[in-house]
Amino acid sequence: MQEPELKLVAPPESGSALRKFAVAGLIMIAIAVAVFFLNPRKTAEVSITKAEPFAPHTEFKAAPAGQMHILGTAPAAEDDLYVVATVRITDKLRLPLFLNGYTASLLNPDGTQLNGTAIAPRDLARLEETFPALIPMAQHPLDDKTPVAPAETREGTIVFQFPGLTAAAWSGRKSANLTINLTHQAPQTVDFPAH
Domain contains 37 = no
Average confidence (pLDDT) over 19-43: 81
Domain contains 120 = yes
| Counted domains in the chain | 1
At residue 42, the pLDDT reads 77
Domain contains 126 = yes
Average confidence (pLDDT) over 170-179: 94
* pLDDT for 90 beyond 90: yes
State the residue range of the domain holding 187. 44-62+76-191
Average confidence (pLDDT) over 102-112: 93
Domain contains 8 = no
Average confidence (pLDDT) over 147-162: 94
Domain contains 86 = yes
Average confidence (pLDDT) over 182-186: 90
At residue 145, the pLDDT reads 83
At residue 61, the pLDDT reads 63
Can you give the pTM of this predicted structure?
Answer: 0.71
Give the domain CATH number at 132: 2.60.40
At residue 96, the pLDDT reads 92
For 74, half-sphere exposure in the C-beta direction (CA atoms, 13 angstrom radius) is: 2
Closest CA to 103 of 93, 114, 90: 114
Domain contains 151 = yes
Domain contains 109 = yes
CB 177 within 8 A of CB 104: yes
Average confidence (pLDDT) over 29-53: 83
Q: How high is the mean pLDDT of the chain?
A: 84
Alpha-carbon gap, residue 95 to 147, rounded angstroms: 10
